[in-house]
């Protein structure tokens, strides 16, 4: 579960938004009256740790959170600068909308926003699907980076694992 480094200055950001728009999916930043709804949705779909990271991203001005909507329904989210400055993630998509490019579009929206703020690089923390990031954004693993900024975290420690079926981090039962 290494951290990975992404060169923001080498990315093509626009294509994913266009593809999603043709499918009726809108990628945008939420507005203040949607804050509680988005946080509660993430809590229901992905759990407390990710909901806390979304709440932190939505405490920034402007938000460092993007959402995906389809037919006025929230279907996904992504954040950056939440757990640490320069870090991307987490990102999540409702299970029935996965594997349609929505997560990629959300990720690229975050990376574009980071680049516009002057970041040259992004760090994807505690990567689960490493091959996906390598293929999609040419990310490279940072040696000896786990647990990195997560070291000593009260809710994780070494009791977390990547659930590839659910596409999210889960706490191991003790």
**pLDDT recorded at residue 29:** 98
Residue % of the chain over a pLDDT of 90:
75
Q: How many CB atoms lie within 10 A of CB 83?
A: 22
Query: What's the structural domain count of the chain?
Result: 1
Residues 140-151: tens digit of each pLDDT: 999 999 889 988
Structural domain that includes position 42: 4-171
CA angle 58, 149, 44 (to 5 degrees): 45
Any bridge partners for residue 140, and if so which?
5
Contacts of 38-42 with CB under 8 Å at 24 or more apart are 38/65, 38/67, 38/74, 38/77, 41/74, 41/77, 42/77, 42/92
Residues 75-134: tens digit of each pLDDT: 999 999 999 999 999 999 999 999 999 999 999 999 999 999 999 999 999 998 899 999
DSSP-derived pairing of the beta strands 140-141 and 121-124: unpaired
CATH number at residue 55: 3.40.630.30
Q: Which two tokens stand for residue 15?
A: 């294509």
């Amino acid at each position: 579960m290494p951290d990975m480094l992404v060169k923001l200055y080498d990315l093509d950001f626009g294509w994913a938004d266009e593809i999603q728009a043709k499918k009726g999916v809108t990628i945008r930043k939420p507005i203040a009256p949607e804050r509680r709804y988005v946080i509660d949705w993430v809590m229901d779909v992905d759990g407390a740790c990710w909901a806390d990271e979304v709440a932190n991203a939505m405490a920034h001005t402007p938000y460092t959170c993007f959402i995906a909507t389809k037919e006025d329904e929230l279907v996904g989210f992504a954040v950056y600068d939440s757990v640490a400055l320069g870090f991307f993630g987490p990102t999540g998509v409702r299970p029935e909308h996965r594997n349609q490019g929505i997560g990629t579009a959300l990720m690229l929206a975050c990376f574009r926003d980071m680049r516009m703020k002057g970041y040259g690089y992004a760090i994807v923390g505690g990567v689960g699907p490493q091959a996906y990031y390598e293929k999609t954004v040419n990310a490279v693993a940072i040696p000896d980076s786990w647990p990195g900024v997560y070291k000593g975290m009260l809710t994780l420690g070494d009791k977390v694992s990547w659930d590839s079926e659910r596409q999210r981090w889960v706490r191991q039962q003790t």
